[in-house]
Copies of this chain bind each other. A is one copy, B any other.
Amino acid sequence: MRQQREMARADAGSLRQRTARMEVETGPRRFHDVSAAVDGWLGEIDAGEGLLTVFLRHTSASLTIQENADPDVLRDLLDVLDRLAPASGSYRHGSEGPDDMPAHIKTMLTGASIAVPVLNGRMDLGTWQGLYVIEHRARGHARSLTLHYLGT
């Protein structure tokens, strides 16, 4: 393991926080790259160095960070989620349609909250990383996210 390298520091007087609500119109069963929209908000609030938390306020869609280069990766990931939570599975919960319980399972396996350090006013993602909302339902929805920033 190599030495750590300091990237930023800030003391009490320069810290502040901002919270915003963002809505994403999703399409059926697909990944939506929200990286540019989130970085856009960081620009609007003139963020410097800090911590961004993205929280999705739903239980049949989720958040993930994944490869943003080859769209086939995202298609394969959707297939895998279908295999882990098949629509043809036998579930107790069925009142909201056959795609609802698989959507809850997929959300449990991927999560609703991601924290990302912010450097130079942008999420400090790796070269191939994108931040995605995954819509698990068979129809698109208006999905609500809360963005929280704490930093300079």
> A residues touching B (Cβ–Cβ < 8 Å)?
1-2, 4-25, 34, 37, 41, 44, 49-51, 53, 55, 57-59, 64-67, 70, 72-73, 75-77, 80, 84-85, 91-93, 95, 101, 104-105, 107-117, 119, 124-129, 144, 146-148, 150-152
Contact = CB atoms under 8 A, between A and B. Distances in A.
Nearest to A13: B12
A9 B91 CA distance: 43
A108 B59 CA distance: 17
Contacts of A25: 1-2
15 contacts: A4-B147, A6-B18, A9-B17, A15-B15, A19-B119, A50-B148, A65-B113, A66-B108, A72-B91, A75-B93, A76-B101, A80-B85, A113-B115, A115-B115, A126-B144
A144 B128 CA distance: 13
Nearest to A51: B148
Contact of A72 (B15, B37, B93): B93
A113 B116 contact: yes
